[in-house]
Amino acid sequence: MKAGPLGLVCIAALQEGYYKAFDVKEGDKMYQPPEKRVSIW
């Protein structure tokens, strides 16, 4: 199975750096609450 560009964006939206890099805030379509985000390091 191959992940398309949308799949990569969805995965990125679960990482804290995405919110800082793209200034995503609560109410934005790609916003996920902190308890649903992943922590890699």
**12-31 pLDDT, tens digit each:** 677 788 888 889 899 998 88
* Residue 34, burial from CB neighbour count under 10 angstroms (0-12, 13-18, 19+): exposed
Looking at residue 15, the DSSP 8-state letter turns out to be B
pLDDT at position 35 is: 86
Residue 18 lies in a domain: yes
pLDDT at position 26 is: 93
Residue 17 lies in a domain: yes
Residue 41 lies in a domain: no
pLDDT at position 10 is: 65
Per-residue tokens: 35 = 């308890």
Residue of 6 and 33 predicted with greater confidence: 33
How would residue 6 be classed by pLDDT, with cut points 50, 70 and 90?
low
Residue 26 lies in a domain: yes
Domain around 22: 5-36
Looking at residue 34, the DSSP 8-state letter turns out to be G
Residue 22 lies in a domain: yes
pLDDT at position 4 is: 52
Number of compact structural domains in the chain:
1
